Amino acid sequence: MTEFDFLEPDLLDEDHRMIREQVRRYVNDVIVPQADAWEAAGEIPRQAFRDFGALGFLGMRHPVEYGGGGLGSMASVVLGEELSRSTYGGVASAFLVHSDMSMSHIAHRGTHEQKQRYLPDCIAGTKVGAICVTEPHAGSDVAGLKTRAQRVDGGWVINGSKTFITNGVYGDIYIVAARTDPAAKGSRGISLFIVEKDNPGLKVTRKFEKHGWRASDTAELFLDDLRVADDALLGEEGKGFYYIMSTFQTERLVAGAMSTGQCSKAIELTVDYTRQRRAFGQTLWDQAVVRNKIAWMASKTAAARALLYQCAQMIDEGKDTVREVSMLKAFACETLQEVVHGCLQLHGGTGYIIGTPIERMARDARILTIGGGATEVMLEEVAKRM
C-alpha cells in the first residue's frame, strides 16, 4: 500500500494483497518500459498476453478446473486498479476486456465442452477474447441490435456488423450477440454465439484510430454469411440480452476499478509534481488552493473506492447490485474526468505535451463515461430503482 491508495479497505485479504503486489511489480517492471512502443504500434504483442497469462492474471475469477484462480470479484477489482495505475489505459482495457468481459460469458454460460475448448487457452493468454455487442446503429440501446442469426441444418448463419470492438482486430475468440427470433421485440430473441477468428464469414473491415486507449486495438467487423455449428450457441437461445446485462455488472465494476486506479495514480503524479515545481517564490504545493484542490480530488477518489469495494462484496454475496453498480460506474468514471483534468491543469503546459503520463491519462479516461454504459444510461438505471 502507498499513501495514494486512499482508503485501504478491510475487504482485501492476504491473497488480494499478494496479487496487488505481484501485478504492481509486473506493471512497473514489464508494462511501463514497453507500453509506449505498444501505443505507437496500436497493439499489444501476443507474448505480453502469454506472459501475463503465465503469471495467472488472466483467469483469476474463472474456474480452477479450466486453469483459472477460482477467486471472486475483489480479485478483478485489484487487477483493474493496478493495471490502470500503469497510466496506460489501452493496455489495461485490452487485458480486462479479454479476462473479465469476454471470457466471463464462456465461464458463466458455457457447457463443459465449450469451457474445456476455450478457457484454458484464454487463461494462458495463448488465445485472446473479444465481446461483440455494439453495432453501428445500436450502442447504448443494446435491444436495438440487428445482427441476425438464422437457423440452418446443423447450425446457424449470422449476418450483420459490429463496431468499436476491443481486441477485434487481433483477437481469436469472439462472443457475438445476434437476433435469433426476428419476431420477438426489443430485448427478447437475442442469443450469444462463440465465433473463432479463422471463420471465413468474419471480416475485419476497419481498425480505428482513437483519441485514447491507443495500445488496444478496436475493430469494425462484418459478419458475412458466417456459419457456425449448433455447439457455438452460448447458453440458452433467446437469453442473450439477459446474459449481456448480467455480465455488464462485472464489466462496470471493472470500469469503476479502472477509474479509481487512474485517479490514485494521477493524484500521486500531481502531488510529486506540485511539490517540486516552483512559482512565485514557493512550490505549487505551498499554495493552499493547490493543496486543497488535490485533497478534494483524493476525497472523491476515496468515496468512489469505498463504493467500488462495497459493490464487489455485494456481487460476491450474490446480491442484486444493478443500482449500486450503476451508481459506481457513473460516479467513479465522472470523478475520473474531474481528477485527470484537474491534475493536468496543475501540470501546466507540461501536462499538454504528448508523452507525459498525465496527457495520456486524460485522453484514455474520456471513454470511461461512454463505453460499457454511458453515465446518462447508468443514472437512468439508478432512477428506475428509486
Ligand X SMILES: Cc1cc2nc3c(=O)[nH]c(=O)nc-3n(C[C@H](O)[C@H](O)[C@H](O)COP(=O)(O)OP(=O)(O)OC[C@H]3O[C@@H](n4cnc5c(N)ncnc54)[C@H](O)[C@@H]3O)c2cc1C
Q: Contact letters (x/-) for ligand X, 164-193, by CB under 6 A?
A: xxx---------------------------
**CA distances (Å), 147 to each of 83, 137, 205, 229, 349, in order?**
33, 11, 16, 17, 46
Cell of 195: 465465433
Among residues 77 and 192, whose Cβ is nearest to ligand X?
A: 192
The least distance separating ligand X from the CB of residue 157, rounded to whole angstroms, comes to 21
Q: Does 372 interact with ligand X (rule: CB under 6 A)?
A: yes
The residues carrying an active-site annotation are: 251
Q: Cβ–Cβ contacts within 10 Å for residue 319, how many?
A: 10
Strands 218-229, 282-283: parallel, antiparallel or unpaired by DSSP? unpaired
Residue listed under C-alpha cell 499538454: 352
Q: Does 132 interact with ligand X (rule: CB under 6 A)?
A: yes
Q: Does 51 interact with ligand X (rule: CB under 6 A)?
A: no
Return the DSSP state at 131. E
Length of the chain: 386
Q: Does 377 interact with ligand X (rule: CB under 6 A)?
A: yes
Among residues 166 and 270, whose Cβ is nearest to ligand X?
A: 166
Q: Which of residues 75-114 bind ligand X (CB under 6 A)?
A: 97
Q: Residue 103: which of 68, 138, 71 has the closest Cα?
A: 68
Burial, 188: exposed, middle or buried (Cβ in 10 Å; 0-12, 13-18, 19+)? middle
Give me the amino acid identity at 107.
Answer: A
C-alpha 93/C-alpha 82 separation (Å) is 12
The least distance separating ligand X from the CB of residue 375, rounded to whole angstroms, comes to 7
The least distance separating ligand X from the CB of residue 74, rounded to whole angstroms, comes to 23
Among 121, 237, 316, 380, binds ligand X (CB under 6 A): 380
Among 38, 174, 213, 331, binds ligand X (CB under 6 A): 213
Among residues 157 and 374, whose Cβ is nearest to ligand X?
A: 374
Q: Does 133 interact with ligand X (rule: CB under 6 A)?
A: yes
- Contact (CB, 8 A) for 84 and 258: yes
Q: Does 302 interact with ligand X (rule: CB under 6 A)?
A: no
Among residues 97 and 330, whose Cβ is nearest to ligand X?
A: 97
Among residues 294 and 362, whose Cβ is nearest to ligand X?
A: 362
Q: Cβ–Cβ contacts within 10 Å for residue 380, how many?
A: 15
Residues that bind ligand X (CB under 6 A): 97, 131-134, 139-140, 164-166, 210, 213, 218, 367, 370-372, 374, 376-377, 380
